[in-house]
Structure 1
Amino acid sequence: MRLRISLLFGLSILILTNISAQSYDFDVTKTEELRVRDGMPNFFKKLKAGDPVKVGYLGGSITNGGLWRAKSLEWLQSEYPKANITQINAAIGGKGPDYGTCRIKEHLLVHNPDMIFIEFRVNNGSAFQGRALEGMIPQIWEHNPNIEICMVYTIAHWMKEEIARGDQTSAGVFMEPVANHYGITSIEFGLEVMKLLKEDKLVFKKGDGPSDGKIIFSKDGVHPLEAGHDIYRDVLIRSLKAIENHGTPGPNKIPKPLKKHIFSNASLAPVSKAEFSSNWHKSDLGNEKSINDDLTDRNGGIKSVFGEAMQTSKVGESFTLKWDGFMLGLTSTLAEKGAIQIEVFTDGDPSKIYDLKSRTGKTAVKYMFLDEMESGSHTTRIKLIKLAPGIKLQIGQFLIVDN
């Protein structure tokens, strides 16, 4: 049985109790730099023993190309020189936990990590009110109950006032209940950033004010510059050092779900699973090599999002997919509003029209989910009904959600 540990800004109180992961009751509306919960004893046991250790990173662009990942790995390698520590970069820019839970098996668990850092608060960590994020945890521990998990919370400009007050963000309030329920450690990077800002030692965004002698945290208010990543690394290091001797190694147990219809059986289905009409052709996704253990956006993430893809430039073309679950998602070309529209028919129900519009208005390779429905076996036909000149519709792997 794990030990329960509570830490508040570096002051540790060790409480020896036989409790399960779901007993933690930290205030989810507030944020603290470190909430240990069950800790990560399996991870530290392997590090101290000098065993091979694989560290997995799952999140968005701040983690994909962000230096905090590389810097944290370098520190682990220097702190535990006897252990052969390697990484799995399974972060993809601009993607949230709803997409992450569908791809976690294929992109991360297949590599058998020992430790997983999850970073999704900036990228819509509240997706489906936390049900998407929660769905990752059973998948991880069903694969290997000894894998340890840590949620790390990065900061963006729209979170500044909340975090300065010590409040959790609008996305984080759906992530912390998951951490409470499953006993997962969470680390808040943003409090230290706001502390330095309050002390006039930091400029949050380049151009916000005089910067002589100060840390410039970011250019865009979201993606840290190297000095910003140093802050993230330092918070992570002191948090890991504070808990490295806490907890009892052993398998993590999966409690009953916190919510109904969590994304615990989400998966990717290849584009070949569908039957396409005659005027679809295989897409050329460029020279990017097959995805293995590094999803760095070398070609804008197209290969990592699509896997393989089919494309058409002709209105009226369609494809049909048979699937099991309660929600279907598409990886596809998105464009400005009104440029691409599809009509969706499922199980003989009235059809519905979807506008494949991107958040920025620019053509991009992204994902979207269709409406949630009753769990079961379904047949969905999707027909292209509108396509602006010069744009092609590409359809990649499908996102199938069940529990």
Structure 2
Amino acid sequence: MRNQNSSGGNPSITPRRGLPGMRSKLAGNAPLTAAFLGGSITEGAGASDADTTSWRTLTGAYLQRLYAGHPVRCINAGVGGTTSTFGAHRLQEHVLREGPVDLLFVEFSVNDGEDRGESIRGMEGIVRQCRRLSPETELIFVYTAADKNLTGYKPFNIAVHEEVADHYGIPSVDCAAKVYTMIHTGELDWRRFAPDGYHPLDAGHALYAGLVQEYLRQAIVPGGVQLEEAGAEETAVLIKEAEEKAVLPAPLDSRNYEYGGLLEYSAAEYSAAFRIQELQPGEPLMNWRFSTEHAHTNDPQADFSFTVTGQCAGLVLLYGPDSGIVEYSLNGGPYAEINLFDDWCLHAYRPILALFPVQAERGVLQVTVRNTGHKDSRSTGTGLRVLKLLYN
């Protein structure tokens, strides 16, 4: 049996425990589901056709060839601008809503910020939640390139994600490391590869897909040996590895988002000034291809409340050109202001996460949110649009 800790000579690939469950599935003909959870690069930004030339689509096509005879379904859970924190809260609705998945690619190293603890909580929350709700799922971390992570071989955001990968034995494919090497050997012009410094053109998506496929070949069909051709001893080892994977180690951070999820806006109680509506055709929208139905008000006295059980609560607000400043109170405590307005809000509406402070223990959290009638100096109004509620 091939050593699962061998990278096959490619320093951009760290196999760790490998994908024993995916290899064992080669012997059957059951349907397979692969999901891609990440930001805009996973969604397909930069590709000439996200459904044809993105690294996500190319990887899905490769899996279909690899598992010939199996129906293969691919879930696009990439949402531009989202972090691993939002990913952990989106996992159930955008990945697991229709049942367990076989393989989950996770890509957030570009979008996660400089807060190490928050990145740990997000990535660990994805892993632990997936292992709990879909224990047979194999995970792969994929690190794509951007200006900020081409400063060295293991820059901050990737190094933080690697902490989680090491702790849980999750394989990783470091596309940024490959790009970094190619830039410094003169093989690649970064500005032609990704003109905006983030989103690769078709050739870049193909490069990412090629690295992922190289790892999949190593992990699933090393040496071209199919499972039915392997001996009983090797099969038993693969099964044992898959069973051991389901036993979770102690968390790196007890405040991780293992129990994160989204609630419909309708789970809250709203004052009379709110109206249910959707964005109208022609109103600019970015980073969201799902329903825009939300609770909306311009009334500076409007408020709403909701209750969840967990370690934290929060909101997904549909923020845009006319959004104002709101404030929230947790369990009857003092109100704290939230101003999420940034330069992107000048151009379009998009979902923005507002996560309230994580509590030391799980418990009942009663949240009240109210409009303030105040706004950022760049905003044209004091609107409040509630897209989703958050819990963990």
Inter-CA distance 238–3: structure 2 relative to 1 (3 Å threshold): closer
Higher mean C-alpha displacement, 117-126 vs 147-156: 117-126
Going from structure 1 to structure 2, the CA distance change for 1:4 and 1:380 (only over 3 Å counts) comes to farther
How far apart are 1:153 and its partner, in Å?
0.6
Other-structure match for 1:183: 169
User: 8 Å contact 1:285–1:302 — kept in the other structure?
Assistant: no
1:310-365 deviations in Å (ceiling 9; x for gaps): 000111111011122222221113357x9621121222222212213236352532
Distance 1:177 1:154 in 2: 17
Alignment-derived partner of residue 82 in structure 1: 69
Contact 2:18 2:170 in 1 (8 A): yes
For the 8 Å contact 1:134–1:178, the answer to whether it is kept is yes
Kindly indicate whether residue 318 of structure 2 is the aligned counterpart of residue 329 of structure 1: no
In structure 2, the CA distance between the partners of 1:56 and 1:286, relative to structure 1 (3 Å rule), is farther
Quick one: distance in 2 between partners of 1:197 and 1:139? 37
Whole-Å Cα distance in 2 between the matches of residues 3 and 347 of structure 1?
Answer: 55
TM-score, normalised to structure 2's length? 0.83
Q: TM-score, normalised by structure 1?
A: 0.81
1:148-167 correspondence to structure 2 within 5 Å: 148-162=138-152, 166=153
For the pair 1:233 / 2:218, whether they are aligned, the reply is no
Give the distance between the partners of 2:342 and 2:390, measured in 1 at CA.
Answer: 18
Partner of 2:385 in structure 1? 394
2:129 corresponds to which of 123, 126, 139: 139
The answer on whether the counterparts of 1:342 and 1:355 sit within 8 Å (CA) in structure 2 is: yes
Distance 2:355 2:200 in 1: 30
RMSD: 2.5
Cα shift readout 1:187-230 (whole Å, capped 9, x = no counterpart)? 1112222232223232101xxxxxxxxxx311211000001111
Is 1:342 paired with 2:323?
no
The alpha-carbon distance between structure 1 residues 146 and 302, as it changes in their structure 2 partners (threshold 3 A), is closer
Q: Name the structure 1 match of 2:300.
A: 315
1:383 aligns with 2:362: no
Q: Give the letter for the 1:54 counterpart.
A: T
* Contact kept in structure 2, 1:335 and 1:356, CA below 8 Å: no
**CA-to-aligned-CA distance 1:52-105 (integer Å, 9 cap, x gap):** 211110000101125001111122222332222220111111111111111211
Deviations 1:104-146 (A, max 9, x none): 1111112321100011101107561411110111221222221
Does the CA contact (< 8 Å) of 1:48 and 1:80 recur in 2? no
**What is the CA-CA distance between 1:373 and the residue it aligns to?**
3.1
**1:234, distance to aligned residue in structure 2 (A):** 1.2
Q: Quote the residue 2:226 is aligned against.
A: none
Unpaired runs of 5+ in structure 2?
Answer: 46-53, 223-236
Q: 1:119 aligns with which of 64, 86, 107?
A: 107
CA contact (8 A) 1:312 1:392 kept: yes
1:70 counterpart residue number:
57
Distance in 2 separating the partners of 1:198 and 1:219: 18
The alignment-based identity, stated in percent, is: 25
Asked whether the equivalents of residues 285 and 349 of structure 2 are also in contact (C-alpha less than 8 Å), the reply is no
2: distance between equivalents of 1:236 and 1:346? Answer: 44
Which runs of structure 2 are paired with 1:245-394 in the superposition (5 Å)?
245=221, 248-249=238-239, 250-251=242-243, 252-253=245-246, 254-285=248-279, 300-302=286-288, 304=290, 308-335=293-320, 340-358=324-342, 360-362=344-346, 363-365=348-350, 366-374=352-360, 375-385=362-372, 386-387=374-375, 389-390=380-381, 392-394=383-385
Measured against aligned partners, the alpha-carbon deviations of 1:230-269 in whole angstroms (never above 9, x if no partner) come to 1111111112112225771333222221222111111111
CA shift in 2, pair 1:230/1:130, >3 Å: same
| Count of residues paired in the alignment | 354
In structure 1, list runs of 5 or more residues that go unmatched.
13-31, 206-215, 288-297
SS in 2 for 1:397: strand
The SS at the match of 1:202 is coil
